[in-house]
Amino acid sequence: MPEPSSRPAPKPGLATRGVHAGEAPHEPGRPVMPPIVQSATFFWGSPADGEVLYTRHGNNPNQELLGKKVAALEGMEAGAPLASGMGATAMTLLALTQAGDHVVASSYLYGATYALLKDELPRRGVTTTFVDPERGGWAEAIRPETRVVMLETPTNPTLRVVDPRPIVELAHARGIRVVMDATFASPVNLNPGDLGVDVVIHSATKYMGGHSDLIAGLVAGPRDLVTEIVRMTRLYGPTLDPYAAWLLDRGLRTLDMRVKRHNENALDLARWFERQPQVDRVLYPGLESHPDHALARELLRGFGGMLSIVLRGGGDAADRFAAALQLAFVAPSLGGVETLVSQPRYTSHLALTAAEREAQGISDGFVRISVGVEDVEDLRADFARGLEAVG
């Protein structure tokens, strides 16, 4: 008989990991789909039984499967699910900072993350310096008490691509952790850990779940950091319930094929919008006109399903455009199989002042589009209807 190979088995592809990572070994009678374990607590006879299983602790079987799966998708040591993307963001920042500490953050952040850093964490003694990635100044912003650098790429909603590599090098030389929100990319288009990022955050409500039917967050990173994030979750309580965990696992099983369709449709529509006279500007990393196009080609495996347009005519034009749509839904959130349209001034960046939005490139004519997986010809027809209403 031939000797067994000593070489490690090849790493499964991302689509395979999305289906199978974290599952129990095959055995007769094992259900193909992991069941929902709808129990708050579990029998524990003695210390020999190991850690007490309690769903608020995040060690329900459905929760544990998700932690293993997101770690596998991101190429990280460990992962954990939480009750929302903002829960994942807040618990990560609380786990990595304490009173007297300092955060350096990109000024290109999701509105609620920006508000958390600017308004909420200072109440707990943690201050933040925001850096405009286009202007730079990361080294100047770092202080002796800096513990975290917070990034997002692609950014919400302007779709800028921030290169984490020089920032990671700068931060790690000073013992500072780098956290990145990669919700818009998903693991299909980007693995920030490959670029040196320490902790990756996803609002799993979006692409990871993919069907607009759950609220969840995911984190992945080194085991010691994820353990500390889970400890914060046990104290503050944003634990994901078993049914939502089961739905999220189901969504991850089709993540690869869904995101690739999102990528295709969004690029097609971005090119189409560039030709429309009512549109002043199209923001999409896959377009040559995008300021970060060369960097996006280098870092991303796909350009994503999010695109933004700025309409001539400002807020009134954006309102008319949205009201005329019949196929796309006017609704907040993103990343579902259906196309969603929103105006950040009413939704994701409502907490910012008009001046703060303008500083981030979000004018009143700004419309964010989460491109779904519908037939792209039907989407073009619907958006043409919206543009006709603009005049």
Q: Is 118 known to be catalytic? A: no
SS3 per residue for the chain = CCCCCCCCCCCCCHHHHHHHCCCCCCCCCCCCCCCCCCCCECCCCCHHHCCCCEHHHCCCHHHHHHHHHHHHHHCCCEEEEECCHHHHHHHHHHHHCCCCCEEEEECCCCHHHHHHHHHHHHHHCCEEEEECCCCCCHHHHCCCCEEEEEEECCCCCCCCCCCHHHHHHHHHCCCCEEEEECCCCHHHHCCHHHHCCCEEEEECCCCCCCCCCCCCEEEEECHHHHHHHHHHHHHHCCCCCHHHHHHHHHHHCCHHHHHHHHHHHHHHHHHHHHCCCCEEEEECCCCCCCCCHHHHHHHCCCCCCEEEEEECCHHHHHHHHHHHCCCCEECCCCCCCCCEEECCCCCCCCCCCHHHHHHCCCCCCEEEEECCCCCHHHHHHHHHHHHHHHC
Q: Of 108, 110, 114, 207, which residue is the catalytic one?
A: 110
Q: Is 132 known to be catalytic? A: no
Q: Is 261 known to be catalytic? A: no
Q: Is 160 known to be catalytic? A: no
Q: Of 181, 241, 249, 292, which residue is the catalytic one?
A: 181
Q: Of 17, 69, 160, 206, which residue is the catalytic one?
A: 206
Catalytic residue set:
56, 110, 181, 206
